[in-house]
Structure 1
Amino acid sequence: MLKSVIDLVETLATGVRAPEHPPASFAELAAAFGAIDDPLAAGLRAALTELRPGAAWAEEFDELPGGEVWVVDALDGAVQLLQGLPQYCLTVTLVRDGEPELAVLHSPRLGETYAAKRGEGARRNGKPVAPSRKTSLAAVVAATSQPPFVAKQPGVAEAAGRSLTAVLEEVAAVRNLGPTSWQVADVAAGRLDLFWQFGRDATNLAGAALVAREAGAVVTTADGAPWTPSAGSFLAAAPGLHAPAAKILRQAE
């Protein structure tokens, strides 16, 4: 089934196009987003329902029902796409009883696809990936982001600011390279050494967390506790970097 999901995501992504000009107001942004996202999400829903007729559907959630659920973000990084930037991707995750079973992330502009199935490892364009071999924070290129509409989650923006200040003092560089899910997948492949975020962001993180775990990265909350889709923070890091990164984030939180 994983190959079928990869094929349909890559096929549907070929129709994604940025608007000619970036939106000039929030109303224009919402309209431009809907014009791209709505048909794309509808196409994914139809194809995935045919592939797995008994699975439910979720585009945004904090808690999922039992059984199988397709968790889909047709445009992770939509803001970048609408600005004419290349950092966006499509994500599809099959969750069973709260645990991600398979995940596919596809970047149309990069022509790359991350895919993982529980217990079978993680791959990019069919080749196995593995996290960074670094053990020193001083050499780390870290990444971070914020959940959509972060102001709706009290205290999260403040925690993000404190953590950024703390991490900047310890690593070589901190970046925000676009879609949350893709940055986590890049930790899985060693392109980034670690990624952290405060706030609930289950739709963007569920599939990416599976990719990271299957590649061998350590995935927890920011303070090192087991991560679940309803958790209020997230950390994915190379094995040799997770403990010191979690220590910094605990102190900043």
Structure 2
Amino acid sequence: MTDPALLPPVLQAARILGTWLAQQERPRPARTMAEFKDVFDAVDTPAAALLHQHLDPLLPGVPWAEDLYARPLPAGELWVVDVMDGAVQYLQGLPQWSISITLVQDREPVATVLHSPLLGESYTAARGHGAHRNGAPITPSDKQDPAVALLATSQPPFIAAQPEAATAAGRSLSALLPLVGAVRNLGPTSWQIADTAAGRIDAFWQYGRDDENLLGPTLIAREAGTLVTDTTGTPWQAGSDSFLAAPPALHQQVLTLIAPR
């Protein structure tokens, strides 16, 4: 099955899972980390099982990536999946969550689907075939002045394990806040990058290694014509320790603004 041909059945699988998740009764928010793990597993385990039923037959034998925060992305073909992207929001009863499914070949994303059941929207992209929202092509913002730009940012899960990323995030936020129109964190990292590719957000940056959340939307952003690099201007790749997605007219300006001084 070619990469573009994968998108319709993968999107259908994401919609089935999204409907199931939206119908679940939200538990009471966890009061401790132990409770959070129990609450999370109670949703994540059956959600993953449901998605396996629909995803695995498409490419028999292709594994799901596991524990990308603890080891480098392996070579070969694999699925990078987040069945509850924005789990914290989902479990808190907030609407900013989605489903993320990406096929990766030799550490490069080749097909991806992001689906938000509450918004009724889906982003899709296949390598060399453009990026779309609900079937319509997307393009990034054409703004030229950071002073009127809406920027977004986030952080990897378990950022305490990457203290240098937390430090850089604080420094960059302090540098940008006085010079741009606004900075927001609007939910899942992947969805915010896709919204950047579609021009709803003007640029997105983040510090820290976060392959699981960055691989899929990187494909969407690049296919839409967005520049995707690390914060030194080097093309982003799996394992990079920083990330910036911005349209050509803003990319270098944002790089300059967040550069250490």
TM-score normalised over the length of structure 2? 0.93
Superposition RMSD in Å: 1.2
2:10 to 5, 10, 15: 5
Alignment correspondent of 1:34? 41
Partner amino acid for 2:10? Answer: V
Long gaps (5+) in structure 1: none
Change (3 A) 1:18 1:149: farther
CA distance in 1, matches of 2:258, 2:129: 30
- How many residues are paired up? 252
Q: Counterpart of 1:177 in 2: which secondary structure?
A: coil
For 1:174 and 1:107, how far apart are their aligned partners in 2?
Answer: 22
- Map 1:97-176 to 2 at 5 A: 97-176=106-185
Distance 1:72 1:165 in 2: 33
Match of residue 51, structure 2, among 40, 44, 49: 44
Contact 1:29 1:82 in 2 (8 A): no
Q: 1:201 to 1:59 in 2, by over 3 A?
A: same
Instruction: Please report how far the alpha carbon of residue 20 of structure 1 lies from its aligned counterpart in structure 2 after TM superposition.
Output: 4.2
CA drift of 1:249 comes to 2.0
Query: Does the CA contact (< 8 Å) of 2:193 and 2:221 recur in 1?
Result: yes
Assess, with a 3 A threshold, how the Cα gap between structure 1 residues 18 and 219 changes in structure 2: closer, same or farther: farther
Aligned equivalent of 1:80: 89
Give the whole-Å Cα distance in 2 for the aligned partners of 1:69 and 1:250.
Answer: 35
Query: Unpaired runs of 5+ in structure 2?
Result: 1-5
Q: Is residue 59 of structure 2 the alignment partner of residue 56 of structure 1? A: no
3-state SS of the aligned residue for 1:42?
A: helix
> 2:122, 2:38 → 1: CA distance?
28
Secondary structure of the 1:56 match is coil
**Residue of structure 1 in register with 2:229 after alignment:** 220
* TM-score between the two structures when normalised by the length of structure 1: 0.96
1:190 aligns with 2:199: yes
Percent of residue pairs bearing the same amino acid type = 53
